[in-house]
Structure 1
């Protein structure tokens, strides 16, 4: 789809500066921003029922390797030897 946009001068200047600093075409920058905005909105509105969300999280957790020993993730073990 071709789309013609009339940008306010301030927004046009911001787009031109972003394109110049990134070495990309203004059209590419505008398309990326638009895609990010639309994807963010669709993800925010696509919520799962609680039971499906829990099942997805458990499935993700089960896909990770199980430790044969207890992991010491205490503050003391993380910062050991740092003079605290």
Structure 2
């Protein structure tokens, strides 16, 4: 597959600088970055150790806001006002 990308000048400059400093061509760097970003999630999860997986789950949970009160998820509260 051929893909034509129009890079903003500042991103092109960063890519060119990275290519010069690593001795790679810009296409190789762009391909590697895409491969890293588009990794198959099932493979990424399968390769994690148990401790890393637990750490990732805890980080994800901590990224959500906590409620200052207990949530009322009872059937009565869900269907309140529906005439039942």
TM-score, normalising length: structure 1: 0.49
TM-score, normalising length: structure 2: 0.49
